[in-house]
Amino acid sequence: MARPKIHRINLTDNEVKKLKSLLRKKDTSKTVRSRCQILLDLDESHGKILTHIQSAKSNGVCMATIQNVVCAYSNGGIENVITLKQSINSDNARRLADGRAEALIIELACGPVPEGHSRWTIRLLEEKLKVILETPVSREAIRRTLKKTNLDLTKTTTGAFLQKKMPIL
50-75 confidence digits (pLDDT tens):
889 999 999 999 999 999 999 999 98
Confidence (pLDDT) at 94: 56
Q: Are residues 104 and 60 in the same domain?
A: no
Q: DSSP per residue over 65-83, as a string?
A: HHHHHHHHHHHH-HHHHHS
Is residue 56 a part of any domain in this protein? yes
Is residue 91 a part of any domain in this protein? no
Confidence (pLDDT) at 18: 93
Is residue 122 a part of any domain in this protein? yes
Q: Are residues 141 and 107 in the same domain?
A: yes
Confidence (pLDDT) at 6: 77
Residue range(s) defining the domain that contains residue 141: 99-154
Average pLDDT over residues 16-39: 92
**Which residue has better confidence, 131 or 166?**
131
Identify residue 72 by its one-letter amino acid code. A
What pTM does this model have? Answer: 0.54
Is residue 19 a part of any domain in this protein? yes
Any long-range contacts for 12-15 (C-beta under 8 Å, 24+ apart)? 15/78
Average pLDDT over residues 15-44: 92
Is residue 63 a part of any domain in this protein? yes
Per-residue confidence at 8, pLDDT binned at 50, 70, 90? confident
82-128 confidence digits (pLDDT tens):
887 766 666 555 557 778 888 899 999 998 998 999 999 999 998 89
Q: Are residues 103 and 78 in the same domain?
A: no
Judged by phi (left if over 0) then psi (alpha if -120 to 50, else beta), residue 136 lies in beta
The residue from 82, 113, 141 where one domain ends is 82
The rounded radius of gyration (Å) of the Cα atoms in the chain is 26
Is residue 159 a part of any domain in this protein? no
**Which residue has better confidence, 138 or 36?**
36
Confidence (pLDDT) at 44: 87
Question: How many distinct structural domains can be found in the chain?
Answer: 2
